[in-house]
């Protein structure tokens, strides 16, 4: 599992739309959809309920649990990258 894919998952969970998340992430919708499907296969669980009628996507019960774990991983890494960038600007 890659950090990039966790960020993709978090974006889709936040946007509740694969298309909007893909735009936000500057990647194509099919690429994002494939990454999410691969993540679900890797975890052997369905993370999203997909509705074709409303074009919305919501988290399953397992998705909500995984959301918390993904945040626990991604947020400290993002903070560390930010701090490293700030430090390099002051050198």
Tell me the per-residue pLDDT of 28-42, one tens digit each, with 9 for 90 and over. Answer: 999 999 999 999 999
> Does the pLDDT at position 88 exceed 70?
no
> Does the pLDDT at position 55 exceed 70?
yes
Which tens digit of pLDDT belongs to each residue from 67-77? 999 999 998 77
> Does the pLDDT at position 60 exceed 70?
yes
pTM attached to this predicted model:
0.81
Closest to 7 in 3D by CA, of 80, 82, 86, 73? 73
CA triple 6-29-22, angle to 5 deg: 55
């Amino acid at each position: 599992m890659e950090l990039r894919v966790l960020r993709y998952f978090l974006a889709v969970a936040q946007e509740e739309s694969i298309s909007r998340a893909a735009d936000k992430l500057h990647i194509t919708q099919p690429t994002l959809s494939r990454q999410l499907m691969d993540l679900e296969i890797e975890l052997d669980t369905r993370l999203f309920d997909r509705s074709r009628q409303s074009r919305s996507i919501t988290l399953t019960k397992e998705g909500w649990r995984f959301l918390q774990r993904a945040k626990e991983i991604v947020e400290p890494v993002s903070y560390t990258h930010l701090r490293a960038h700030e430090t390099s600007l002051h050198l």
